[in-house]
Structure 1
C-alpha cells in the first residue's frame, strides 16, 4: 500500500481515505466568531462554478469556507454546487490537500495552455480572488498559506504550525489527536484562546465529562445514575 500510489500522476483518480476525513474535520470546526452560524457555509468536494459565460468551467476544492451567505441555499435547500453569480459571495478560504496528480497545479507551478481552462491557482487568485489559499501536505504534516495582497498571492510565514485569521476570529493549525479513531496530525480550526474548536462529538464527550465530575464532587457515583 505504501509503495503503490493511490492515484497516478496525470490521472483524475478518486480521493483516498484521508481526503474526506480531513475535509469533514475542517467543516465541523469552521466556526468563525465574527459571523453568525447561519451566515457561514463550507463545502467539501463541491463544484464551484465561476464563469456565467461558460458553465462547463468549474473547480472542485477539497474544502472551502464562505462567510456572509446563508448556510442553506436561499435559506431552504442543500446546495448541489456553489454558483458564484447566483450566490454573490466568493469563498474566503480554500484548502487543497496535496496529491500526486494535482500538486503542481495546486501550487501554481504550471499554467494553462491558451485553449484550456485556467488552473486552480489562476481561478483562486485571479478570478475568485480568494483571500486565503491553503495547501496541506499530509506526508510531512505541514501546510502553506497564500494571502491575496495587491491581487497576487504572497506566502505567509507559519509559526508553530498555526495561523491566525483575524477577519474570522479563528485560527488554522495542525493538531495531533484522534479523529474517527485515527490518531495522526490533522488540520483544524482553533479559537482566540488557542483551544481547538470541538466537533459536535467532542463537545458531547466534554459535556458528559463535566457532568461526571459534577456528580463526583457531590459524592454521587456516576455509574449508579
Structure 2
C-alpha cells in the first residue's frame, strides 16, 4: 500500500510595513506642539560620527511593531533612533511604520516625553491582562532590549536616563552642568551625548533635549550649520577686505616715500628718472 505523507503546514506569512496601519483612528488628536518640535530637534542633531547618514534612521510618533506573534501590537515612541539600518525602507521607500521582524535591527535609543497622561505607561507602572499588550517599559526592556531609554519631563525639565544592564534597565548618572560640559548622558556606541540645552528653537526659548559631540559641542541643525558657514565666509571676506586695505595703504605709503626721495634728488640737481 502506498504511504500518503501528511500535508506540510502552511508557511506563516507575516505582515509587512505596507500591511500594518500607520495610525490608530481611535487614538485622540495629534500631539501638542512640543511633541512635534522636540523630536524634530533630536532628529536634526542625531549625527553619530561613526555611522554614515544613509545607515541611520530616526522616527517620531511612528508605530513600532515589535512582536511577530502579535503583529498588530505596537508602541509609538515620541522619538527613537536606529543605527546600522538603511535610511529608507528596502533601500528606496519612506517608512509608514517600523516593523522589527522586517528590519532585523532594533532601535538603539528611545526618548519618551513625559506628560501626566502617559507617565505611568512610560515608567512601566501600568498593569495589564495576560491577553493585553505589555507597557512601553516592558517592550523596550524585555522584548526589544533597547540599550538606552531616555525620559524627559518638560514641566520640570527633569532628564532621566536608563541603560540596559544584565537584561534590566538601570539608572544612568546624568552629569551635572558645568562651565565646559552640559547636563547629560554619554552614549558611547553612538559617540554622542544627550543633554539639556537652554536656547531658542523655532522661536521658543526653553530647555530642550539635544545631542552633543565628544568635545561637548552641541550638534548644529542644518540651518545653524548653514548660518555658521555663512558667518565664517563673511568673516573671511572681511579679513580679505582688511588685508586688501592694508596692502593699499602700504602701496600708498611706498609711493609717498618714493615721491619724497625723488623731490630730494631733484633739489640736489639729480634727475631721478635718468638711467631708467
TM normalised by structure 1 equals 0.90
Cα-Cα RMSD: 1.3
Correspondence 1:169-188 to 2 at 5 A: 169-188=191-210
> Does residue 133 in structure 1 map to residue 115 in structure 2?
no
* Native 8 Å contact 1:12 1:101 kept in 2: no
Larger radius of gyration: 2
CA-CA distance at 1:175 after TM superposition: 0.2
Match of 1:91 in 2: 107
2:226 aligned with 1:207, yes or no? no
Q: What's the CA shift for 1:113?
A: 2.4
> In structure 2, the residue corresponding to 1:219 is in which secondary structure?
helix
**Distance between the aligned counterparts of 1:14 and 1:119, measured in 2?**
21
> Is 1:170–1:192's contact at 8 Å kept on the other side of the alignment?
yes
Q: Structure 1 or 2: larger strand share?
A: 1
Does the 8 Å CA contact 1:42/1:63 hold for their aligned counterparts? yes
Q: Select which of 76, 82, 85 maps to 1:66.
A: 82
Instruction: Provide the residue aligned with 1:6 in structure 2.
Output: none
Give 1:112's aligned residue.
128
Of Structure 1 and Structure 2, which has the larger fraction of its residues in helix?
2
Q: Which ranges in structure 1 are unaligned for 5 or more consecutive residues? A: 1-10, 221-225
Q: 1:12: Cα distance to partner?
A: 5.0
Distance of 2:28 and 2:130 partners within structure 1: 21
- Unaligned ranges ≥5, structure 2: 1-26, 177-182, 243-276
Tell me the matched-pair count: 210
User: What CA distance in whole angstroms lies between the structure 2 residues aligned with 1:115 and 1:86?
Assistant: 24
Match of 1:150 among 158, 166, 173: 166
Distance (Å, rounded) in 1 between the aligned partners of 2:234 and 2:61: 39
Distance of 1:112 and 1:32 partners within structure 2:
37
Higher RCO, 1 or 2 (CA under 8 Å, sep at least 6)? 1
CA deviations over 1:37-77 (Å, ceiling 9, x no partner): 11110001000111112221000000000001001111111
User: Do structure 1's residue 166 and structure 2's residue 188 form an aligned pair?
Assistant: yes
Alignment of 1:14-33 (within 5 A): 14-33=30-49
Q: TM-score of the superposition, structure 2-length normalised?
A: 0.74
2: CA distance, partners of 1:136 / 1:37: 26
CA distance in 2, matches of 1:146, 1:139: 20
Question: Match for 1:122 among 131, 134, 138?
Answer: 138
